[in-house]
Amino acid sequence: MDFFTITHKDKNSLARTGIIHTEHGTISTPTFMPVGTQATVKSLDTLDLESLGAEIILGNTYHLHLRPGEDLIANYKGLHKFMNWSRPLLTDSGGFQVFSLGKNNGEQGRLVDIDNDGVTFTSHLDGSKHRFTPESAIETQHKIGADIIMAFDECTPDNAEKKYIKEAMDRTHKWAQRCIDAHKKNQSYHGYRQFLFGIIQGAGDKDLRKESAKIISNMKFDGIAIGGESIGYNMRATKKILDWISPIIPEDKPHYTMGVGFSPMDLFEVVERGIDMFDCVAPTRIARNGTLFIKSAGVKNKFRLNITNSQFKNDKKPIDPECGCSTCKSHSRAYIHHLFDAKELLGYRLATIHNLYFFLNLMEEIRNAIKEDSFLKLKKKWDNI
Amino acid sequence: MDFFTITHKDKNSLARTGIIHTEHGTISTPTFMPVGTQATVKSLDTLDLESLGAEIILGNTYHLHLRPGEDLIANYKGLHKFMNWSRPLLTDSGGFQVFSLGKNNGEQGRLVDIDNDGVTFTSHLDGSKHRFTPESAIETQHKIGADIIMAFDECTPDNAEKKYIKEAMDRTHKWAQRCIDAHKKNQSYHGYRQFLFGIIQGAGDKDLRKESAKIISNMKFDGIAIGGESIGYNMRATKKILDWISPIIPEDKPHYTMGVGFSPMDLFEVVERGIDMFDCVAPTRIARNGTLFIKSAGVKNKFRLNITNSQFKNDKKPIDPECGCSTCKSHSRAYIHHLFDAKELLGYRLATIHNLYFFLNLMEEIRNAIKEDSFLKLKKKWDNI
């Protein structure tokens, strides 16, 4: 069976529905993937995620490498069994976090050293030294055992000079081939097939992005990801980049924007440009700060309600009266407000359930609209809320 | 229907099984009651509590009075609806917390002023002044709407002088009558009947405890509680006190030791002495510190395993191989260890589920043993683990 099957193409945009097949089950695309950084989507159990209908979740290789370590996870026959999640998993390569460390610490407290062979970095947990190479990043991901794994890439800051962006991009392309070679040798480490995606870099430079798109598209990857600091964080830049590369990347492979999903409209923007997969920590992170998604019109910040606001202290309505999640079916704004006010752990869980349901439910709405060729109509409807 | 029905008396001890009837359902006794201080059993949803088979949970009047306030809760027709818990609830009177504040702050930073009419205290949250009298404590509990509410009492420190213990006890008895009078006027505030329990005080003094037991037993309470600083915290004192008063208190009313449940054996000790109800924050509080109950023999601290210990880093066994809780059915010690190591919120929930299941399951075992007149045999079996 093919890894990826396109089931319907929208007549009016690049949006498409599809199915990704893995040995841990299928994923209906386009799909939003909740982030489970440290072998848990923060505050949720895997049963919660199943109830929410999540078909795939992410783990972060950087974090899992540091704690509990890939060898321990391998000892449990992979992350699925370690965290008791039977559905598909994806791991990033660790590159994004490693390079974020370097950026956050600037030139002085530099925690990251890049050379052409790989990257040496210092753990944010205990200051210990670690090294990722393309080969070791793949080996680490083999041991973790996600169904979809990512090539090790260098993610350049948006404000880097073109010369550096080009240098890093060329390095990323060389690493990409080394990742493919390393993966080929052992692509069923735990007995089931893992699929490897390549990552297009090139920051905000049109020529470099197109060059990277061509090179990554011509390599033997199972899927094509679009990486970079601005992807997701800066939707204007994201849309521009997608418009440059979408004519280049192969149609028959899944397309994945890494880091998209701060707001409901962001999902529409990338789906419209032919993207099949995306992940973002925002829905779960902002939930833990009390920022909850809401469809209803008339809220101050479109689609967002801050439950810690005192106006909700005595509000008997559910978070979103139109929402069907277990939090909205069972609890009032007043109760969630109280839980946040009292810093009760339950508040974080109920809020996370709500935000993930909101996104996963919206994805289903989007998939249904694509199938009926009414995707742009649905987008317009949400735009006008 | 009677509020309390005794269904079986053990032939070899004072242990008995019974059923408490409330408008929110029945409670099989003897029962351990999980503590939901601020309208949530920390880290758990009410669905979790239902799955665990909890038949009654506690709220703390002191905390609920300060946040979100009894008027707000009354506006939701009581705590059941506010927190979405359909089964029975019990609230304490706030006395214990109010007097703990006084003790913790000593004479200097005194947060508590006691007079014969009531107590003025300072909120630990914002320093605001509050006052509880017997009448206001009952009114507050009416508004909160628990099925079982408690008389407002003065809980004296163990190290107080006899003169002061006697003075406080006499005050508690006067307050007890005022609570009965206040309750009589409005015992179905939200439309369903609430039941009022009196509290025996007298610290560690035999004569005073017996006097208090006589006086409280002769008042028109629906149940008899045994309060005091040492109850639960000091099991030697607790057993002694129960031995003094058990011949005095009426057999046909439920008996409640407030604060018992630090260890499995504590449950046996009070049940053996005819106690029907008890609550304790320990099982849930220690769970959040990684201390988990275990039945298996051979652990260093009897019945306790500290999951944060590095020996569990790579341990594939469930917390307790004999346990049937959802945590033990789904997760390894290694995974829970990792969650605590990474300070992941999920760890607190999984640990809390385990410890509560352990206690609630043990209670069922105890009830079954009583019915078969083999309670002391079961106690001995657990004693020998």
* A377, part of any domain: no
* B310, part of any domain: yes
Predicted model pTM = 0.96
Give the residue numbers spanning the domain of B325. 287-361
Name chain B contacts of A126, Cβ cutoff 8 Å: none
pLDDT single digits (tens) A165-220? 999 999 999 999 999 999 999 999 999 999 999 999 999 999 999 999 999 999 99
A338 touches chain B (CB under 8 A): yes
Q: Are strands B118-122 and B129-132 parallel, antiparallel or unpaired?
A: antiparallel
B348 touches chain A (CB under 8 A): yes
Which is catalytic among the residues A147, A205, A222, A279? Answer: A279
Mean pLDDT, to the nearest integer, of B377-382?
A: 97
More confident residue, A296 or A211: A211
| Upstream peptide bond of B68 is cis (omega within 30 degrees of 0) | yes
Among A93-107, A239-253, B161-175, B332-346, the range scoring the smallest mean pLDDT is A93-107
pLDDT single digits (tens) A61-109? 999 999 999 999 999 999 999 999 999 999 999 988 888 876 654 444 5
Greatest mean pLDDT among A125-129, A353-357, B160-164: A353-357
* A34, part of any domain: yes
Band of pLDDT at residue A265, cut at 50, 70 and 90: very high
Among A294-303, B299-308, B367-376, the range scoring the smallest mean pLDDT is A294-303
pLDDT single digits (tens) B114-146? 999 999 999 989 989 999 999 999 999 999 999
> Which amino acid does the sequence have at A29?
T
A330 touches chain B (CB under 8 A): yes
pLDDT at position A374: 98
* A378, part of any domain: no
pLDDT at position B299: 67
* A385, part of any domain: no
pLDDT single digits (tens) A314-344? 999 999 999 999 999 999 999 999 999 999 9
Look up B315 and say whether it is catalytic.
no
pLDDT at position A1: 80
pLDDT single digits (tens) A26-41? 999 999 999 999 999 9
pLDDT at position B343: 98
Domain co-membership, B174 together with B296? no
Name chain B contacts of A349, Cβ cutoff 8 Å: 43, 45, 345, 349
How many domains does chain A fold into?
2
Look up B92 and say whether it is catalytic.
yes
Band of pLDDT at residue B111, cut at 50, 70 and 90: confident
Instruction: Pick the last residue of a domain from A257, A280, A303.
Output: A280
Instruction: Pick the last residue of a domain from B280, B311, B338.
Output: B280
Domain co-membership, A353 together with A215? no
User: Tokens 């019990």 label which residue?
Assistant: B90
Q: Which tokens belong to A48?
A: 């919660």
pLDDT at position A107: 47
CB B245 within 8 A of CB B210: yes
Q: Do A39 and B335 touch (CB under 8 A)?
A: yes
Portion of chain A with pLDDT greater than 70, in percent: 97
DSSP A325-367: SHHHHH--HHHHHHHHHTT-HHHHHHHHHHHHHHHHHHHHHHH
Nearest chain A residue to B337 by CA distance is A68
Mean pLDDT, to the nearest integer, of B255-271?
A: 97
* A384, part of any domain: no
* A381, part of any domain: no
CA terminus-to-terminus distance, chain B: 41
Helix, strand, or coil (residue A160): coil
User: Tokens 């069972």 label which residue?
Assistant: A330
Mean pLDDT, to the nearest integer, of B140-167?
A: 94
Band of pLDDT at residue B108, cut at 50, 70 and 90: very low
Domain co-membership, B217 together with B330? no
pLDDT at position A103: 61
Burial of B105 (0-12, 13-18, 19+ CB in 10 A): middle
Domain co-membership, A202 together with A269? yes
Domain co-membership, B139 together with B57? yes
Whole-number mean pLDDT of chain B? 95
CB A261 within 8 A of CB A359: yes
Domain co-membership, B188 together with B326? no
For B329-341, b where at least 16 C-beta lie within 10 A, e where not — what string? eebbbbbbbbbbb
pLDDT at position A134: 97
> Which amino acid does the sequence have at A324?
G
pLDDT at position B302: 86
Domain co-membership, A250 together with A315? no
More confident residue, A58 or A385: A58
Q: Looking at the predicted structure, is the pLDDT value of residue A378 above 50? A: yes
Q: Looking at the predicted structure, is the pLDDT value of residue B107 above 70? A: no
> Measured between alpha carbons, how far is residue B215 from residues A153, A283, B339 in Å?
78, 58, 51
Domain co-membership, A36 together with A173? yes
Domain co-membership, B162 together with B271? yes
Which is catalytic among the residues A92, A153, A222, A276? Answer: A92
What CATH number should be reported for the domain holding residue B91? 3.20.20.105
pLDDT at position A110: 59
Domain co-membership, B214 together with B310? no
A84 touches chain B (CB under 8 A): yes
Band of pLDDT at residue B104, cut at 50, 70 and 90: low
Domain co-membership, A235 together with A345? no
Portion 89-148 of A in contact with B at CB < 8 A: none
Residue of B338, B341, B348 best to disrupt the A interface, most CBs of A under 10 A: B338
pLDDT at position A102: 66
More confident residue, A372 or B297: A372
Mean pLDDT, to the nearest integer, of A43-69?
A: 97
Nearest chain A residue to B327 by CA distance is A45
Instruction: Pick the last residue of a domain from A251, A280, A309.
Output: A280
* B74, part of any domain: yes
**Of the partner residues B45, B334, B345, the one whose CB lies closest to the CB of residue A42:** B345
Band of pLDDT at residue A299, cut at 50, 70 and 90: low
Domain co-membership, A172 together with A259? yes
pLDDT single digits (tens) B349-375? 999 999 999 999 999 999 999 999 999
